């Protein structure tokens, strides 16, 4: 259960309690059971995400990657996958993507991965939005075609040259290489979810 599902269930549960109070009495044990179930689901989600982050940390130790966990997600930032104005994956970056696909396929096949494409700030916003999407699509396609991941669980989006997403704000050329990247954001989606 992802964080959004958990929050939605909690909201529905709380709304039901409030509305039931208006029309019917909700038994304390029913309320307590619902809260206990939500807490158990939350603990399971945290455990799954902690395991995934730990697995990625150990497998990505040799790559230029930053792995972080935040609000029901694990984020893998892979630096400098693309040359200026290019959307073709470089050969040296494919090994990290192969490793990522292996971890997901073998141990976490129920997650949903969003590939986020970024650019440096050179060029127009429209150009960079399209270039970021081409980069995200290239990585998505690679993960599906070469990594064997389920295409229905891999999404691609572009943030282009969004200022609040630049690693080195305003940098272009060689200094802007960290801005020309993809990030892989993993959302927990248990079996049967979708």
Degrees (nearest 5) of the Cα angle 191, 141, 135? 120
User: What confidence score (pLDDT) does residue 77 get?
Assistant: 75
At residue 144, the 3 state secondary structure works out as: helix
Q: Which CATH architecture has domain 53-187?
A: 2-Layer Sandwich (3.30)
Cα 38 to Cα 1, 7, 33, distances in angstroms: 10, 9, 9
User: What confidence score (pLDDT) does residue 130 get?
Assistant: 98
User: What confidence score (pLDDT) does residue 155 get?
Assistant: 96
Band (193; pLDDT cuts 50, 70, 90): very low
Q: Is the pLDDT of residue 121 over 80?
A: yes
Q: Is the pLDDT of residue 29 over 80?
A: yes
Instruction: Report long-range pairs for 25-29 (Cβ below 8 Å, ≥24 apart).
Output: none
Band (51; pLDDT cuts 50, 70, 90): confident
User: What confidence score (pLDDT) does residue 114 get?
Assistant: 94
- Give the integer Cα–Cα distance in Å for 51 and 1: 15
Strands in the chain per DSSP E: 65-70, 73-78, 112-118, 154-160, 182-187
User: What confidence score (pLDDT) does residue 158 get?
Assistant: 96
User: What confidence score (pLDDT) does residue 191 get?
Assistant: 44
The total of other beta-carbon atoms located within 10 Å of residue 159's CB is 18
User: What confidence score (pLDDT) does residue 9 get?
Assistant: 62
Name the most confidently modeled range: 3-17, 61-75, 102-116, 180-194: 102-116
Sheet holding 73-78, edge to edge: 65-70, 73-78, 182-187, 112-118, 154-160
User: Can you give the residue ranges of every domain in the chain?
Assistant: 53-187
């Amino acid at each position: 259960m992802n964080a959004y599902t958990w929050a939605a269930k909690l909201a529905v549960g709380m709304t039901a309690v409030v509305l039931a109070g208006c029309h019917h009495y909700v038994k304390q044990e029913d309320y307590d059971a619902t809260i206990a179930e939500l807490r158990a689901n939350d603990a399971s989600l945290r455990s799954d995400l902690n395991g995934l982050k730990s697995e990625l940390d150990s497998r990505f130790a040799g790559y230029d990657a930053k792995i972080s966990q935040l609000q029901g997600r694990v984020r893998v930032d892979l630096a400098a996958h693309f040359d200026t104005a290019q959307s073709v994956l470089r050969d040296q970056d494919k090994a990290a993507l192969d490793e990522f696909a292996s971890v997901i396929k073998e141990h976490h096949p129920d997650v949903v991965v969003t590939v986020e494409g970024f650019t440096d700030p050179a060029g127009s916003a429209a150009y960079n939005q399209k270039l970021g999407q081409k980069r995200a699509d290239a990585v998505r396609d690679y993960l599906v075609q070469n990594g064997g991941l389920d295409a229905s669980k891999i999404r691609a989006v572009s943030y282009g040259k969004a200022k609040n997403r630049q690693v080195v704000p305003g940098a272009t050329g060689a200094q802007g290489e960290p801005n020309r990247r993809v990030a892989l954001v993993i959302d927990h989606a248990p079996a049967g979810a979708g």
